């Protein structure tokens, strides 16, 4: 494992603090653990090298394979909605760049992350191992199946949008657990939080959003 240098990690520290104040705190993200995690994690390292100077801007960024690195506020809002305290086992559907994975790994006991695209999964794993995260388990597969042999999970985070949240994933949520995901079609999406209470699943909306489609057996078909 090749650890990343302290200089690479500490670059853009001022921009990172400004991002947290201007984009998260100013828009209502209050969880101090989330704010501190996003102040620590070097977002620029998860961006394409040519776009690192834009990593802390208020915008999503392309990462290749028609996928994106979500804008900082969305990452903060989704993470806060998980309500992590530090002892949770979390399932993430869509590793992508690995940035959201890192934020959750700062806040939970263990993260199980699934990515269907081989190149993205390998790149994210290399960066996350270079940052010395030891509590992340990686898998390359169709994320709409979830990870049944590791279920139940205390929290589930889906980083791509399906018309409806796959029942296969809801079933893997533990009692009292929270699932955060975007839902809707390509033009109209809502960020939602599901909470499991016995046989009931409560749902609340956080607001509008825009995500790439969740591709898989229980999501959207792949475009060929």
Active site positions, annotated:
70
Cα–Cα distance between 67 and 120 in angstroms, integer? Answer: 9
Name the token pair of 3: 């650890």
Those residues with Cβ within 8 angstroms of residue 179's Cβ, 6 or more apart along the chain or in another chain? 155, 156, 157, 158, 165, 169, 170, 173, 193, 194, 195, 196
The counts of H helices and E strands in the chain are 7, 9
What does the alpha-carbon distance between residue 147 and residue 142 come to, in Å, rounded to a whole number?
Answer: 10
- Residue bearing tokens 């760049």: 97
- The alpha carbon dihedral of 49, 52, 53, 58 has a sign of positive
Residue found by looking up tokens 């208020």 in the block: 58
């Amino acid at each position: 494992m090749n650890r990343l240098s302290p200089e690479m990690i500490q670059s853009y520290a001022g921009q990172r603090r400004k991002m947290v104040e201007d984009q998260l705190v100013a828009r209502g993200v209050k969880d101090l653990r989330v704010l501190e995690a996003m102040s620590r994690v070097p977002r620029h390292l998860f961006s394409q090298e040519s776009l690192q100077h834009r990593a802390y801007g208020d915008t999503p960024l392309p990462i290749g394979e028609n996928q994106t690195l979500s804008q900082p506020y969305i990452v903060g809002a989704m993470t806060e909605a998980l309500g992590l305290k530090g002892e949770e086992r979390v399932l993430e559907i869509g590793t992508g760049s690995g940035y959201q994975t890192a934020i959750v790994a700062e806040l939970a006991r263990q993260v199980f992350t699934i990515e269907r695209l081989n190149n993205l999964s390998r790149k994210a794993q290399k960066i996350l191992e270079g940052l010395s995260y030891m509590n992340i388990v990686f898998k390359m597969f169709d994320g709409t199946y979830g990870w049944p042999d590791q279920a139940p999970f205390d929290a589930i985070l889906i980083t791509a949008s399906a018309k409806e949240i796959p029942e296969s994933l809801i079933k893997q949520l533990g009692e009292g657990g929270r699932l955060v995901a975007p839902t809707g079609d390509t033009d109209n999406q809502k960020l939602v939080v599901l909470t499991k209470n016995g046989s009931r699943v409560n749902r609340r909306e956080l607001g509008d959003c825009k995500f790439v489609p969740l591709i898989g057996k229980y999501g959207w078909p792949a475009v060929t």
